[in-house]
Each structure stands twice: as structure tokens, then as C-alpha cells.
């Protein structure tokens, strides 16, 4: 049944990768901005905070998707 929902299947199988990518992207953007564009170091703190917040929200959505898939979609 889960084969009918490819996005749900992707999130269930690759959820940890999605959370890691969501958390790393703001940090990487801040790091590149500091290194290439010469931004102030303050943006690294902003990038770290944004990365933590985004990873938390992504993890929440992944876990909710897994719970819903386990409860509603028979294997």
C-alpha cells in the first residue's frame, strides 16, 4: 500500500538524511557567506541557530510522517 505514496515512502526511508541536510544547509550557507563574501562572524551564529531550528522542525515532520504511515498504511 505504501507504494502508492512515493513521497511518504521516501520520507520514511530517508528521513534521517533529510533532517541532516535541513540542519546543515543554513550552517553551510553562513560558512560560505563568511568565507567568500566576507560577512560578519555574527552570521555564523545565526546560521547555527537556524540550522538547529530547521533540523528540529524537519525531524518533527519526519517523525509525524512515520507515525501516520505506521498507523494508517498497512505494509
pLDDT digits (tens, 9 = 90+) for 26-68: 999 999 999 998 889 899 999 999 999 999 999 999 999 999 9
- Burial code (b: 16+ CB inside 10 Å, e: under 16) for 21-58 equals ebbeebbeebbebbeeeebeeebeebbeebbeebbeeb
pTM: 0.83
pLDDT at residue number 39: 87
38: region left, alpha or beta (phi > 0 left; psi from -120 to 50 alpha): left
Phi, psi of 50, deg, nearest 5: -65, -40
Phi, psi of 73, deg, nearest 5: -110, 110
Amino acid at each position: 500500500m505504501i507504494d502508492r505514496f512515493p513521497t511518504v515512502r521516501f520520507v520514511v526511508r530517508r528521513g534521517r538524511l533529510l533532517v541532516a541536510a535541513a540542519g546543515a544547509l543554513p550552517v553551510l550557507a553562513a560558512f560560505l557567506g563568511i568565507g567568500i563574501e566576507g560577512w560578519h562572524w555574527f552570521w555564523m551564529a545565526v546560521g547555527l541557530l537556524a540550522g538547529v531550528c530547521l533540523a528540529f522542525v524537519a525531524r518533527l515532520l519526519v517523525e509525524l510522517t512515520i507515525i501516520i504511515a505506521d498507523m494508517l498504511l498497512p505494509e
